[in-house]
Chains A and B, each alone.
Chain A
Amino acid sequence: MNETAMLEIRHYSKSYGGGKKAADDVSLSVMSGDIYGFIGHNGAGKSTTIRAVVGVLDFTQGEIFIDGHSVKDEPLACKRVTAYIPDNPDLYENLTGIQYLNFVADVFDLSAAQREERIRKYADLFEITDALGDQIGSYSHGMKQKVAIISALIHDPKLLVLDEPFVGLDPKATFTLKQMMHEMCAKGTAIFFSTHVLDVAEKLCNKVAIIRHGKIIEAGTMQELTEGHSLEETFLEADHE
């Protein structure tokens, strides 16, 4: 295994009942400092792969390594360095925003001073500080998404995995998140995210993989893949082949 690969997926396959493969022999590597885009149609297998990476979904075939640890054999070691933001964050609706963030901070063993400083920083950036005392049940989709993002950032992960992170965010929050992703990438964090918004992927990512019917059909650096064309054109072309 490559020493600098923060996430390495090797021949990962996932079958649901009836033998239908949601992911079929998926292999890719995300290095420290990469912003890796994962694109494909609805039902192509993006979320299935992402959920297997973060340890939410079991899989039988292949291997997934995070920071050199196997997701199958050392799930806790993997989760300690990973943060996950799902596409539709179902959070604990009876907790207030600050209670939820403290819950995640407790799990990651953050000191009182560390959590205070980071929550303050990210909550101010996403302009949600004044709402942290309210119940999550009273939040809009975008506000829940912001809390999920803050909870993912406060423990300073080495690998950030996001499933459709821009859905439901307002333009300012979208801009802030993109900025955060660039800053994290500059510090060496690896970012792996799925998206439908090809313009965003093109501007944000240095690497990209296209998945169709559970199989990776194209993967590489943005330049290698697009060869002077737009990502949209490349995606549509690859999709027709």
Chain B
Amino acid sequence: MNKKKGIILLKTLLLSTSQRNIYRYCTDKKKKRKIIGGMIGTGLLYIMLMAYCIAMCVGYGTYGLISSTPVMCALVISGIAFFFTFFKTNGYLFNFREYDMLMSLPFEAHTVAACKFAYMYIKSLPWYLSISLSMMAGYGYYARPKIYIYPVWILLSVFLPLIPMLLSAFLGFLLARFSAGFRKTNLIQTILTFVLLIFCFCLRFILEGIFKNDRVEEVVGKISNISDQSAGIYFPAKWFSDAITKGSMTGILLLACVSTVLFVLVFFLVGRSYRNINSALKSHAASRKFRMSTQKKHSVKQAIAFKEFKRLTGSTVYMTNAALGEILAALLSIVTLVIGFDKIIAIVTQGAPIDVFMLQPAIPFVLYFLIGMMATTACSPSLEGKNYWILQSLPIEKKTIYQGKMLFNLYLTVPFMVISTLCLCISAKTPALHTILYVILGIALCAFSTAWGCVCGIRHMRLDWENEVEVIKQGSAVTIYLLPNMLVTMGLVVLVVFLGTKMDHVLMTLVLIALVSVLALLSYLSVIRMCSHSPSSGAGAPKAV
């Protein structure tokens, strides 16, 4: 009975966000065109991702390392699945809008939690499959495995993301459970999430430090008889690798069985505290102690920027997604000042022949990779959601609204960019003129990120969401902003390091400042143009407000 109810709930959850279903029953031609446009855009991103994975296999194949592909595939998928699930747990599993409605229906708490998880898994599975199957193609081309390996690979690809997603969801559950005991639940949860994410980012370097300090035997001794270090730390990667490279039946069974058992176990435990956690997350403390005092007047743009600030700090999901880059940039700059730029380069590049001088022009781009990872302007138009009526009914021009939103993103990014650039430049002993130019380039990059994010945010605005995670993590505006931006920035870091060895740094930076400024200006003008053309009700605007 419960199983049947669970399937009904899962089907409904999938149907409620299915683009096919929206397309089928939507009578608005413009919205239909947007859905098709979104699908084409997503398809292109799939192609880019698959091309990247195949290129990685070509690299492995060329250097005779193709046997490492299955481990790499398992680790890449697991890493992505872990991080993305962790970001989404609060908002999907807990603290979601339709919680009251669902819990008032005759569902067990663990059924609701399990269905929400299964929904999250099914929605992200195509991304993991695209990585896995393209790596399978690359592996197949170079390693020429036996024919039965292909169906095994495909079958295990379905299980691969399950364990990291479950671990991540359980970690999110523990954080939520812990935070639920405090009065400021959301604040505690945001801080803990940041701490954990930063720890995960640093884990790689901590592990490398352990191995380099000859304490490897101590660590590996505890994980006895495992030859491959990476797969030794994370067992499912080894099971997958063994199943593919050695045809190990044990590997296949372990991966499938452990995933299933873990699923049942996690949702048995989560189900027990589900009501308690959601009650704590959804109830807000009301002090009723306010006394009227002197109020201050602000400009309209400042007022909108302040509203955006409160929106950001009021949501753990939004905060951990939008402000993580800034926090990481600040940490990087502090660590660099303490440890030294040369030592950081040695750790990151792992002994590659790159010196401090060569990397200096890349400083703004490295920081931009973190700070520009996410622009609040990419999701804030959609995040208006059911509040959209407020801005629509107020006497404000559309461009003023978006200028306010852009102003907030600049407030958020520019101080971090300037301070971090200065810290890195001081540590790298960059000449004063170079430092000034890198700061200007950093600011220009922030301006570009702000305006380009806004272009994506307006063009792919979606107001009829049920859960803010749909906008922040899965919205087409954010995807279209984020992925190309990150890939292009990574490419630019390499290009700038390469060009820096051939031409004068000052000249190169000036050219880049001019280029980025033009792109920022064009994006800004595009925002203004869209504001003057767009109708008063945005795409996907809720009909009944």
Contact = CB atoms under 8 A, between A and B. Distances in A.
Nearest to B29: A17
Contacts of A77: 395
Interface string B289-318: 111101111111011001100110111000
B206 interface: no
A79 to B, nearest CB: 4
A131 B286 contact: yes
A170 interface: no
Nearest to A143: B286
A154 B28 CA distance: 37
Contacts of A51: 389, 545
A116 to B, nearest CB: 5
A222 interface: no
A105 B295 contact: yes
Interface stretch (A86-94, A181-189, A212-220): A86-94
Contacts of A57: 536-537
A116 B294 CA distance: 7
Contacts of A75: 536
B300 A107 contact: yes
Contact of A92 (B289, B311, B313, B393): B311
Interface string B531-545: 000011100000111
A55 interface: yes
Interface string A51-66: 1001111100000000
B302 A106 contact: yes
Contacts of B385: 90
B287 A134 contact: yes
A38 B262 CA distance: 58
A88 B26 CA distance: 24
Interface stretch (A26-34, A95-103, A196-204, A226-234): A95-103
Grouping DSSP codes into helix (H, G, I), strand (E, B) and loop, the B interface class, with mixed when no group exceeds half, is loop
B393 A84 contact: yes
A56 B393 contact: yes
Contact of A134 (B286, B395, B535): B286
A112 B537 contact: no
Given A119-B295, A133-B287, A86 B389 contact: yes
A92 B545 contact: no
B389 A106 contact: no
Contacts of B28: 17
Contacts of B290: 96-98, 129-134
B390 A91 contact: yes
B397 A92 contact: no
Contacts of A178: none
B503 interface: no
A63 to B, nearest CB: 16
Contact of B314 (A55, A76, A93): A93
13 contacts: A16-B543, A51-B389, A58-B536, A75-B536, A76-B396, A90-B387, A91-B390, A94-B313, A99-B307, A103-B306, A106-B297, A108-B395, A119-B292
Given A17-B26, A120-B292, 7 more contacts: A18-B27, A76-B397, A106-B300, A132-B290, A133-B288, A137-B314, A138-B285
Interface of B: 26-28, 283-292, 294-300, 302-303, 306-307, 310-311, 313-315, 385-387, 389-390, 392-397, 535-537, 543-545
4 residue pairs, one from A and one from B, having the closest CB atoms = A17-B27, A94-B314, A133-B290, A138-B284
